[in-house]
Amino acid sequence: AYQGLMKAKEDLHLPVKYVEATDENSFDPLLRSFASKTGADKYDLIIAVGMAQVDALKKVAKQFPDKKFAIIDAQVD
């Protein structure tokens, strides 16, 4: 996932920010932090990696219905 992100950054000239959670309790606040950015600091797409983030992604996505979220290696209905 990280290599793909860096390739997209280079090939498509996309601004990206990568963070790695220190534990499962960090998923929710990190996703919320990305989703709450506005103006020049906002992110058009927030990508979570791994099935351990499914619950946090569902929770945060409901709170930010105008944001776009994706997840790698899992499925969210």
pLDDT tens for 27-71 read: 999 999 999 998 888 988 999 999 999 999 999 999 999 999 999
Residue from 9, 19, 66 nearest 47 by CA: 19
Question: What's the pTM?
Answer: 0.86
Q: For position 14, what pLDDT does the model report?
A: 87
Q: Rounded to the nearest 5 degrees, what angle is found at the Cα of 58, between the Cα atoms of 46 and 36?
A: 45
- Compare 15 and 58 and report the one with higher pLDDT: 58
User: Which residues, in sequence order, are CB contacts of 8 under 8 Å at separation 6+?
Assistant: 14, 16
